[in-house]
Amino acid sequence: MNDPNLRFLENHMIVTGFPPAALSTARVADVVSLKNYRRCAVCFHSSLGTAGNDPTITILQGTDVAFGTNKALNFTEVYVKQDLTHLSDVGQWTKVTQAAANTYTDTTSAEQEKIWVIEFKAEDLDIANNYDCIRAEIGDVGTSTDGQIGTIWYILSDPYQVEAPENMPSAIID
């Protein structure tokens, strides 16, 4: 819905996948449900690391928030902001296209602060087989002394029913 009078939180639900954490250990984000939303942007933000310790994001889809049944959720576009010194110096997004896959990495990204955004519509999931949940994962970057910290945020939008922020439907329960 493109109503200019809506507040941001009347049209968006923000969910933390995992809080800022060292990427020297693989990180599995919490699951979000798109049962009440038409779109979800998976946002990954991380600090500078050491060359060669490039993060890889993996996106899966599941049939419920327990995530007992899940499979790859392929995508072909990633929007990227990366910089060697100050991410605030980057004004525009760079659109990266790739062959359909459920993972993305940039082999020079460890040396840069970065934000990666991968957006899905609810119909991008296997809705014919009841897949309506998304989970992101960041693989182990490979060294415990790297200092690379990262986080995942989900920004769900275009709810089926617009509500006041305190009444918006949850995205963390089925």
Residue 60 counted as domain residue: yes
Phi and psi of 87, rounded to 5°? -60, -25
At 109, is the secondary structure helix, strand, or coil? helix
Percent of the chain with pLDDT strictly greater than 90: 80
Mean pLDDT for the chain overall: 93
| Site of tokens 């996948």 | 17
**Is pLDDT above 90 for 5?**
no
Whole-number pLDDT of residue 112: 93
pTM, full prediction:
0.94
Residue 54 counted as domain residue: yes
Q: By residue range, what is the domain housing residue 56?
A: 28-116+125-139
Check: CB of residue 13 under 8 Å from CB of residue 165.
no
pLDDT, tens digit (0-9, with 9 covering 90-100), for 145-167 = 668 999 999 999 999 998 899 99
Residue 23 counted as domain residue: no
β partners of residue 158: none
Residue 86 counted as domain residue: yes
Give the pLDDT mean for 58-76.
97
Whole-number pLDDT of residue 65: 95
Give the pLDDT mean for 27-56.
95
Check: CB of residue 40 under 8 Å from CB of residue 134.
yes
pLDDT, tens digit (0-9, with 9 covering 90-100), for 83-130 = 988 888 899 999 999 999 999 999 999 999 999 999 999 999 999 999
Q: How many domains does the chain have?
A: 1
Check: CB of residue 105 under 8 Å from CB of residue 142.
no
